[in-house]
Amino acid sequence: MASLKALKIRIGSVKSTQKITKAMKMVAAAKLRRAQSNAESGRPYSARLSDVVSSLASRITVGPQSPRLIAGTGAEQRHLIVLASGDRGLAGAFNTNIVRAARRAADELIAQGRQVSFYLVGRKARPVIGRFYPGQIVGQFDTSEMKNPSYAEAQAIAAEIIERFESGQFDVAHLAYSNFRSVLAQEPTVDQIIPVRPAAANDSAASGASAAVEYEPDEEDILAALLPRNVAVQIYRALLENQAGFYGSQMTAMDNATRNAGDMINRLSIQYNRQRQAAITTELVEIISGAEAL
């Protein structure tokens, strides 16, 4: 059984931890507002750009002159998963859920006889991916110094991914990230970003894209300019969604940690008071027994 001094030291230690977790919760809550606003603001643009590119892709006939980002390589054997995770922990299962979604997608592709490689954005995914898929990490983009995602960084990532695609290192690219829904809900998502998937006929009809439209210049020239930008925008959106999801998960995790610390303090305080009362009672009994002996 722990001594009174040891219990008192432990109670003080837990109280210090509780102050830290409470402060981290408040900081995460303050940062979440801006991150959530950025993520929500970026969704309409990225969704609309993706719809426009998919609609254009469905209108052209793929040929030798078509942009490779839409025509592809003519094969689907080699797949690259661009896995965007965080650089820090203390956010519950945020990073774990993204990695699990990417692993699930990779395992499905491997089961179909495909070759899978990984390009990592952020540090937290590397230990797990390196353990389960040794030798399959082909690159990594360091975001440890990135306080807030910027479009310039998304462009840099997209440029490297497109360069690898143009050099024939893979046939299909997927983007794995956490889609922010609410503070308590983040949805790990894996989307194909290269080559662009043409819009389905029913999707085009539903969005009104089936109307007669004339393009100047033609669709292929427009696509050649829009396709690299679309990849960068989708990566930028993933970074924004990840940041909002991270702060939401961290706020929830720190709130739970603060509550757990409070419960532990209560239990330790009860144990401390009981042992202290037992010690006092023992001393009183000894004093009374000594007085009676005299």
pLDDT for 237 equals 93
pLDDT, one tens digit for every residue, the chain (294 residues) = 568 888 889 999 999 999 999 999 999 999 999 999 999 988 898 888 888 888 877 777 766 667 788 878 888 899 999 999 988 888 888 899 999 999 999 999 999 999 999 999 989 999 999 999 999 999 999 888 888 888 999 999 999 999 999 888 999 999 999 988 888 878 899 999 988 887 665 554 444 444 455 666 666 677 777 888 999 999 999 999 999 999 999 999 999 999 999 999 999 999 888 888 888 888 888 788 777 776
- Closest CA relative to residue 246, chosen from 54, 71, 56, 27: 27
pLDDT for 203 equals 56
Amino acid letter at 118? F
- Closest CA relative to residue 264, chosen from 1, 90, 18: 18
Amino acid letter at 201? A
Q: Write the DSSP string, 105-152.
A: HHHHHHHTT-EEEEEEESSTTHHHHHHHSTT-EEEEE--TT-SS--HH
- DSSP code of residue 212: -
> What's the Cα-to-Cα distance from 149 to each of 33, 239, 271, rounded to whole Å?
15, 6, 48
Residues in contact with 194: Cβ distance below 8 Å, sequence separation at least 6, in sequence order:
69, 72, 161, 162, 165, 172, 173, 231
Q: Which fold has domain 40-250?
A: Pyruvate Kinase; Chain: A, domain 1 (3.40.1380)
> What's the Cα-to-Cα distance from 276 to each of 91, 264, 268, 283, rounded to whole Å?
38, 18, 12, 11
pLDDT for 231 equals 92
Give the count of alpha carbons within 13 A of 67, CB side only. Answer: 21
